[in-house]
Amino acid sequence: MCFEVEIIKSYMKENLADKKQLKMFLDIHAHSNKRSIFCYAPKPEKGTETVPSKTLPGILDEMSEMFSLKNSDCNNLESKKYSARLGIHNIYKLMDSYTVEASCFGYDVKNNPMQERSTQQGSDNSPEIVQFKPAHFIQFGETLAMAIARQLDLNIFEEDNDTNLLGYEIDLDFGLGGNHKNTHRAEDYLLRKNYGVGSQAGSEEISEEG
């Protein structure tokens, strides 16, 4: 039994007594084995399966090059019965209860012409891998919000996009290695380009360079 999961379940029971209020649950983790970003979800009963393209993982696979539907899975394994996604699924009878896993390393590039050519020629067909940087996770966070809206048939207005990150201090872990200064700049560029705001770290790096 996981103490943190029990706290989450207890909190939600107290604050979401009306089970119809909960439309989706996401438990977001880092993953040390598989690459890319992917989901685990409850396994639907026979006859209630949904076309993959209509599910959140299917939508994310279509919208993001960083997401892998191939690495995603639907299961109700006994070993996972204490996971947050299955705990919430069992309490609320909610199929849209997901664990979102993000690789600690990077993502496999999808639909890579060079890889397809190598496969046809019988040479090494190892996927091209892009190491994750903070800017990737910020970009995926925006994609995730849009995918949730699409899954729940919600309308997104321009003012929603403009205020997605305003009022939040973004503090990201740069322990993945690489050039931190370039990483800060990439993060800052993405924030300024999309939201007109810069990260504190990125602003400091720019000021130091003059």
What would the pLDDT profile of 53-66 be if each residue is shown by its tens digit?
A: 788 999 999 999 99
Model confidence at 27: pLDDT above 80: yes
pLDDT (0 to 100) of residue 1: 55
pLDDT (0 to 100) of residue 6: 83
- Read off the pLDDT of each residue in 10-18 and give the average, rounded to a whole number: 83
Q: What is the 3-state secondary structure (H, E, C) of the chain?
A: CCHHHHHHHHHHHHHCCCHHHCCCEEEEEEECCCCCEEEEECCCCCCCCCCHHHCHHHHHHHHCCCECCCCCEECCCHHHCCCHHHHHHHHHCCCCEEEEEEECCEEECCCCHHHHHHHHCCCCCCCCEEECCHHHHHHHHHHHHHHHHHHCCCCCCHHHHHCCCCCCCCCCCCCCCCCHHHHHHHHHHHHHHHHCCCCHHHHHHHHHHC
pLDDT confidence bin for 160, thresholds 50/70/90: low
Proportion of the chain above pLDDT 90, given as a percent = 34
What would the pLDDT profile of 91-144 be if each residue is shown by its tens digit?
A: 899 999 999 999 999 999 987 655 445 444 555 567 789 999 999 999 999 899
